[in-house]
Amino acid sequence: MKKLKIILPMLAFIFAIALSFAFAGTNETTVQGYYEASPDNWQPVNVDCEGSSDCKIRFLPDPTIHQVYATPDASQPLDGSGEIIDL
């Protein structure tokens, strides 16, 4: 019984390690991009952008729509489905 008190938490610890490795990378469909929060203020953002249209995001309840770019400048707009992604 005394050994079980030590083994059980250790098993839980090992189980959680396995669980985190199993789930890590399952959300990797998202890409990192940048949006212009205010003039010359670029912020990083993770978005699920796939497609050949624009990648646009919106931080609800703020109705402002932001285009997502690959770099913190407006030179490389990221491609997306064209739909506005609410974050």
Number of residues that bind another protein (CB under 8 A): 27
CB contact at 8 A, 57 and 44? no
What long-range pairs does 17-24 form, CB within 8 A, spacing at least 24?
none
- Among 59, 70, 79, 81, contact with another protein (rule: CB under 8 A): 59
Residue 43 neighbours by CB under 8 Å, 6+ apart: 34, 35, 36, 37
Closer residue to another protein in complex, CB, 58/81? 58
The answer to whether residue 83 forms part of the interface with another protein (CB under 8 A) is: no
Q: Which residues within the stretch 1-30 sit at the binding site for another protein (CB under 8 A)?
A: 5-6, 8-10, 12-13, 15-17, 19-21, 23-25, 27
- Closest separation in Å from C-beta 79 to another protein: 20
